[in-house]
Structure formats: structure tokens, C-alpha cells
Structure 1
Amino acid sequence: MSTAGRTAYPADSSTTDSGDRTPRRLSPEASRMPGALGTLAAQLRAELLSSSRVPEYVVGVVAVPIILFTMFGLPNAGVKLPGGTDVGAMMFASMSAYGVVSLAIFTFGVGVADERGKGWLRRMRATPMPFWAYFVAKVVGSLAFCGLILLGTWAVAALGGKVPFDGVRLAQTVLILLAGTVAFSTMGFSLAYWFRPKAASAIGNLVFLPLSFLSGFFFPLDQLPDVLAKVAPYLPTYHFGQLVWSAIAPAQDVIAFGAHPEGSAWVHVGWVLASFVGFGLLARAGYRRELSRAAQ
């Protein structure tokens, strides 16, 4: 029998309730689902487009650390510490670390909570896309914005303040800051899944500001009241700051800057990793709680 008059749709086989196998006509616009990397690339593109279309997000997350450095770092550019490090370089490290923690709290925390409150995450779970792609795209997208923070702050410091940077130390600092973006992502995810979406912004600010001050990002740690100074070493962001400052300058300059480079670098790494794992488990528990509630 001739098939010239038939529509050339791709066909698949499916089993009906009666057990007969009948051809299933697929839409001519149907396409094969991409692999894991293709799915991740598509979600990452959507994530970057979504973030870039919200000017207040770009200003709040990317521009604020650069503005703060311009206000507080540039006036101190040119001042040398005993080991030769420019204070402007130390302020670059401080404001960049501030930007990393800001990304963790407001991108992974407040941002995900907002999407959760709008029902967007519930709709995504109904699609064929593996949900891990959503989380990984969030992290990779935030690395891109972290890069913008570092590039912008460095440009203001190097071009506007003529701050000299040691190339090796700068590269080490950038790597630690990028790693911090990943490490503190779980802190934000746990905030997103354990607090109501409408309260996430307030909780985020309530957590973010004390962490930034107690970690020494805004002023030297030795200027903290004694009670707060005793609390600071128990914060993962404090240890993150120690890693960043120790990367950008030698120990004597870190001390002169007012930070506390006490203990081995591995101790600081251990605190940051423990934070990553601990908050990751907390975020996982919150995510499972969300799934169980959705199933009821």
C-alpha cells in the first residue's frame, strides 16, 4: 500500500489499557531532550537572563561591593603596611569577601525563597529536567556574578587608586573568593527552604549584616567589643575572611591591618568546609520537607 499520502510524523509505540500496541503520533515540533550538559547549559542561560533582567539585583549584588570599596578603600589607597602591602589591596579583599557572602545570602537564600513562594520550583519539579540542574545553574551563575564583583573592584583599585597587586597573591585570592561562593551556597539554600518566602528577605538581612561586621569585613577585628570578638572565631565567614586576607598579604601585614591570622590555614579551611557540609545537610532536609508537604 502506498504511504505517499500519509503525514510523516515520527511515531512511537505505547500500550493501551487493553494491551494492544498502537502507534503514538508525536508533535512535529518535538525534539529529543538534551543530555546532562545540554540541560545544565539551558538552565544556566535562563538563570543568567533572569538575573540580568532585574536591574536591582545587579546593583544590589554586584555594584554595592564596588561602591563600598570606592567609598572606604580608595581613600586608603597608597598607605603601606609594614610588609609592603597596600591597604587598598586589603580593602579589595575585604569588600570582595563581603560580596561573596552577599551572593550566598541573597542569591541562594532570598532569591530561591522568592521563586519557591511563587510556585516556580513546584512547576519545575513537574518537568523532565533533573532538579539538580537548577541548583548547579544557580551556583555557576553566581560564580559569573562573583567574577563581575572581583573584576569591578579590582578595576577601581588598580586603575582608580593605583593600588599595586602581586600577581600570584591576587590569583590565590580570586580562587579563594570563587571557592567561597560555592562553599556558602548551602547556607543560602538552607535559608531558602527553612523560612517562609515572605520572611526570607528580613531573615537574610538579619543574618548577613552581623556576619559581615563580626567577620571584620567593614572594620578591623581588634576594634570589636570583647564579647563579640569572642564570638567571631565560631563563625565560618570569619575563617573565610582569614583565608582571603592571608592570601592577599603576608602575616605581618594581616596583623597590622587588624585581622587575626591565628592557627593553621587548614583550620580555617576546615571551618569553611564544615559549614558547607552542615548547611548542605540542613538544606537537603528542608528540601525533603518541601517534597513531603507537596505530596500531601
Structure 2
Amino acid sequence: MTATRETKAASAVGQVRQGGALGLIAVSAVTEVRSKLRTPEFAVGAIAIPVLLYAMFGLPNAGVLPGGTTVRTAFVVSMAAYGVISLAIFTFGEDVAKDRGQGWLRTLRATPVPVWTYLVGKVASAVVLAALIVAAIGVLAATAGGVRLDAGTWVALAALMIAGVLLFAPLGFAIAFLVRPRAAAVISNLIFLPLAFASGFFMPLSELPEVLGDIARYLPTFHYGQLAYAVVMPAEDITYWTGVATSPAWVHLLWVFGSAVVLGAAALIAARREAVTARG
């Protein structure tokens, strides 16, 4: 790992000296993607768990919702959203916190390499893994589950899922910079698992206690799910599945983008404060 980072830093410094900002970003992004894909326990865990959950919860259920949407199709959205959001939280939360605790960010600040290029590399790796999660669930759903969606719908769903990595990255960064590095993994789990349950990713909110449905209205993950369900389901089925009347898309977008801005600002303030402290 140390050798990889030294190689990354050396290559990046070379790009800085050549004045190539785009080249610097490319070096950081490609190195980060290769690092993730060469770590089987992370790559397999990030992709395999959502697929396994779909196989457990989605495939056995052959029901059909009142508007004609199959339950297996609804679970494609639920498990893909689960996988993408967990990827964002743990990649940008636990992973960045670990590097922060090991002093890697402090080392970068002492070089000509901007820290933001390191973060862009994290984003690139998360986007690649998010695409693999959606593809794996989609292939399983289409082959073993008989889910039939037209090409345009698959593309729209995949695009929204991949965008979810960017929308929930601020939550991961907030965890990484606001909590102690050793506590980041625990905090990530304590935040994500309740969010996933309360947002109805594991089972419809209509089958959960009413209080969870009331809480869900204030969660960005729930509103993200509402946007994703709308890609493959009519409003009638969304209401039946979630147990909550649908709202205009702009309401859901406001919640998702608003939370991303607030959490991103909190993470930025914490990161800048740490940088000032390190220099002082």
C-alpha cells in the first residue's frame, strides 16, 4: 500500500511539474480505480452483498403490484439504491477516514499534489463500482428474475444510481472529517443501516411500523428512492410500495440536493479546519 501511494505521489508530482491538471486528475483517478479493483475483499463485498440481498429478498417474490409492476422490479431499485448509497458512505467515510488517521492526507498537503485530486480519484473508483453494482443486479434480475425493462429505462436507472454516488458522497466525507478515524467504520454502520431500513430498501414501508414512514419523509435516502422508483414504476405502484403518497419530483430533488449541500459544507469546513491545525 505504501509503495502504491509513493508511486501515485511521484507520478502526480511529475504531472504538476508539467503543468498538466487534467493529467494529474487522470493519474489519481486511474490509480484509485486500480487499487480498489485489486482489493478483492472491498470490490467483492461492495458488489456481492447487494446482489446477494436481491437474490434473497427479490427473486423469491413473484408478486405483482396493483399498477402492474412486479415486486422483483421494485427490488431492483431498492437493492441498487442500497448498494450505491452504502458504497458512497463507506468509500468516502470509512476509507477516507482511514487514510486520514494514517496521516496520508497530511503527507499530501506537504507535496505539490492538491488533496482534491485524491478525492477525485475516490469519486472515480466509486462511480466504476456503482456501475458494476447496477449491472450485476440488472443481469441477475433479467436472467433469473424475468425482469423486463426497455433499454432506455435501464440506462435511466443506471444513470440515477451512479449519480447517487455523487449525491451521497458528502455524507461520507462528513463522517470522514467530523469523527475520529477509528470511529468512522462504526459511525458509518450506525448511520447507514437505520437509513436503509427507514427508507424502505429492505421491505416496503407499508409493512413497517407507521412511525418509520413518518421519519422517512425527512430522510434524503427515502427521497432518492422515490426518484429511482419513478423510473420503473407508475405513481400508483410507488404509493402502494412505499405506503406514502407520491410528491412532485422537485420535492424529492430538493431534499436530496439540499442534504448534499449541507453535509458537503460541513465536511469542507471540518477539512479546512484540520488543514489549518496541521499547518499550525
TM-score over 0.5 (shorter chain): yes
1:194-235 CA-partner distances (Å, limit 9, x unpaired): 011100000000001000000000011122222222111111
- Equivalent position amino acid for 2:272 in 1: R
- Partner of residue 59, structure 1: 44
- Partner of residue 50, structure 1: 35
Could you tell me which of 37, 62, 66 is aligned with 2:22? 37
- Partner of residue 180, structure 1: 164
What is the CA–CA distance in structure 2 between the aligned matches of 1:56 and 1:260, rounded to whole Å? 37
What is the CA–CA distance in structure 2 between the aligned matches of 1:216 and 1:272, rounded to whole Å? 16
Q: Is the 8 A contact 1:86 1:164 kept in 2?
A: no
- Partner of residue 82, structure 1: 66
Query: Aligned-pair distance for 1:170?
Result: 2.4
Structure 2: gaps spanning 5 or more residues: 1-13
Query: Aligned-pair distance for 1:32?
Result: 4.4
Query: Aligned-pair distance for 1:276?
Result: 1.1
1:246-295 CA-partner distances (Å, limit 9, x unpaired): 11111112223234242111000010000111011001011012112212
| Higher fraction of helix | 2
Q: Indicate yes or no: 2:149 matched with 1:165.
A: yes
Q: Indicate yes or no: 2:229 matched with 1:206.
A: no
1:56-95 CA-partner distances (Å, limit 9, x unpaired): 2112211110110011111124x33232222111101000
Alignment of 1:75-224 (within 5 A): 75-77=60-62, 79-224=63-208
| Aligned CA distance change for structure 1 residues 89 and 282 (closer, same or farther; 3 Å) | same
Tell which structure's C-alpha radius of gyration is larger: 1
Q: Secondary structure at the match of 1:67?
A: helix
- Partner of residue 8, structure 1: none
Spell out structure 1 runs of 4+ moving beyond 6 A. none
Could you tell me which of 222, 225, 244 is aligned with 2:209? 225
Deviates more, 1:173-182 or 1:271-280: 173-182
Structure 1: gaps spanning 5 or more residues: 1-28
